[in-house]
Amino acid sequence: MPTSQTARQSTLPATVSAVSDEGPAQLDPLAHPHDTFDVEPPYVPDAAQIAAVEKYDDRFLDRELSWLRFNQRVLELAEDATLPLLERARFLAIFSSNLDEFFMVRVAGLKRRIAAGVAVRAASGMLPREVLETIWTTTRELMQRQALVFNDHLLPELREQGVELLRWDQLDREEQKHCKRLFKERIFPVLTPLAVDPAHPFPYISGLSLNLAVLVRNPQTGTEHFARVKVPPIFKRFVPLGNQRFVPLEDVMGEHLKRLFPGMEVLAAHTFRVTRNEDLEVEEDDAENLLKALEKELLRRKFGPPVRLEVEESIDRKVLDLLVSELGVAEDEVFRLAGPLDLRGLHGIADLPREDLQYPAFVPSTHPFLAEVESSSPVDVFEAVRKHNVLLQHPYDSFATSVQRFLEQAAADPHVLAIKQTLYRTSGDSPIIDALVDAAESGKQVLVIVEIKARFDETNNIRWARKLEHAGCHVVYGLVGLKTHCKLSLVVRDEPEGIRRYTHIGTGNYNPKTARVYEDLGLLTADEVIGEDVAHLFNNLSGISRNATYHTLLVAPDNVRGGLVEQIRQEIAHHQAGRPARIRLKANSVVDEAVIDALYLASQAGVPVQLLVRGICAMRPGVPGLSETMEVRSVLGRFLEHSRVFWFENGGQPTAWIGSADMMHRNLDRRVEVLVRLPDTDVHRIASLLDLAFDPTTVAWDLDSEGVWHRNDGDVHLHGALIERQRRRR
């Protein structure tokens, strides 16, 4: 019989820091236990050295405003005339979807905190109200800049290349006839006009939906009425007309509204869009009902309060006043923009079959250790991994011929006894899920830790969890109070020499689709010590066991923060002893105050510190007396930089860690995260990647001490250079 286990009360200890999202902890941010490394006693700062860091009251940049600067860098890619034209359109779409999620989660959280009267200053020293007001101002500027880029630059340049995004009055007669038939035959049957009058209350406007606010008049009475018509999301955002010409769907609808309101005069139609609070709040005290509680909360998400109203700048003031009043939004939350709204639909334009306007085609290759040798049959992954540790970097190394093949071979191999797997996000038609189902149905023991609280993937993960249960997998929904975010796969195989464990530890999700565009690292290994550590961790996640000591892993919330701080201190000790010392970190976000203060302390001691941060960074590099040896860079481009790397010079014997944890409170305190120390043979490859990223000729953004990012227009694009490296290696 299949077994399942809902979320349990955590058996992991209390977090090692009291840092919260609202501000820094009132603990010594540099004091952490030495319980992870078999090294000489590390450097321990005294009170004066700690005070030398803490005297800089403004040493933390605000995380929300730093995120907006990240999305500004995305917008700058759309403005970059040196990039392929359709890729610039895609970056405009990414900018839009990023901003939507930011409002749904982060802005909604700030509003909730203000409403609850929790006006705690952030680590930056700003109150929630101050942050929110700055967000509104900055966001309005960025959205207007996006509209300018789209209308004044992208549209004319696309037109020159034969791709035209038109408004209704720009269509020729035949195209208008085509749209009329399309409306009559396909669009009209789907539409539902919702009037507002004493008998019809103001309709509910779903989050992120595109809508028409229609003003009509009764010709007999002269009475004006308001109605809302939703733009159906089942149709393409930009209606294809042939010959790579398109028109917004709302334009087609707006021109034919008389069919929806027969006998009435259509006075005006204005496009608008609402963003709502869609963050989840699940009470987890009753662990047995977690699944039901989450499903109930997913229904509530649809009815979250509004946090933003987007309207076209031509909207009638009377209609806008009605929307503001009925939706309950503040004037600051209204964004008047040049249309069209909701540019997420540009993804469809970016996918046009125009190779001349896109990045050159790229096909991932099989890692050399896993490559087929003089045979048309796939390589035996287990045999290859027994010979070599395999350090993968996606998308350059194929996910399909490495991680996916590893699990598919394990599912089919009669010598495999068990598979243990964590799943945070995966694709809708996941071969990973299929492999786990096949393994369970063939009699293997299969344990799957499914994180059903993965934001915006909750519904999918509930569905996959039930499918796995029905196939006979043992499904565990994680630990109460903690999200299971680590990326682990463990295969137990019966071999002539005895039981052997094969392990994959990665920085990214087990998702074949995102693995083609997300840059991630992963280690495939048969190392006995790593395998034993991972086995202990799986037992912690699924059972009552408690193992706090790992030889090759750092595990949050136990000791990721403390372990990294200790490594940073060790670099200070090396520097003071005259040995080589340097710290290089790569992450999506660096916010945690304890880690930041440790890095500041290292910089004050003279240790070179380099950070490669894709998104949020709360550090101030280059501050005299605080961070003069510190450099912070950001690389954005063709692929989404997603891996987390922690590299230390270590007195001339470099060490490197990879894993799932960003330097954020949620990762270090409220998630199960794993970092693995790489075998020495793979550390040089990490060093080579970081060397290229920090090379002065590499295109990147550099952060200054005031929190401003400056574009460095070098000669080398990181992703293009790594593609070329991969081709040479192949």
d(CA 111, CA 132): 8
Count Cβ neighbours within 10 Å for each residue of 147-158 and write b for 16 or more, e otherwise: bebbeeebbeeb
- The sign of the CA dihedral 286, 668, 21, 17 is positive
Residue 485 contacts residue 576 (beta carbons within 8 Å): no
How many other C-beta atoms are found inside a 10 Å radius of the C-beta of residue 159?
Answer: 13
**Spatial separation of the C-alpha atoms in residues 608 and 604, rounded to whole Å:** 10
Kind of pairing between the strands at 700-703 and 8-9: unpaired
Instruction: Please check whether residue 24 is in contact with residue 4, taking contact to mean a CB–CB distance below 8 angstroms.
Output: no
Distance CA 730, CA 117 (A): 59
Determine the angle formed by the axes of helices 458-471 and 290-301, rounding to 10 degrees: 150
Distances in Å between the Cα of 93 and the Cα atoms of 74, 88, 111, 211, 634 are 10, 9, 26, 19, 20
**Structure token digits, residue 95:** 């900018």
**In whole angstroms, what is the distance from residue 424 CA to residue 421 CA?**
10
Residue 221: CB atoms within 10 Å: 7
Sheet holding 224-230, edge to edge: 194-196, 224-230, 210-217, 265-276, 306-312, 334-337
Q: Residue 104 burial by CB count (10 A; 0-12/13-18/19+): exposed, middle or buried?
A: buried
CA distance 532 to 651: 29
Residue 415 among the catalytic residues: no
Could you give the angle at which helices 85-102 and 128-148 cross, rounded to 10 degrees? 160
Binding site residue list for Mg(2+): 425, 455
Among residues 32, 270, 474, 485, the one annotated as catalytic is 485
Two tokens at 569?
Answer: 């201190």
Q: How far is the C-alpha of 331 from the C-alpha of 27, rounded, in Å?
A: 40
Token readout for 680 is 């020495």
Tell me how far CA of residue 368 lies from CA of 226, 371, 497, 637, 726, in angstroms.
65, 5, 26, 26, 10
Kindly list the catalytic residues.
485
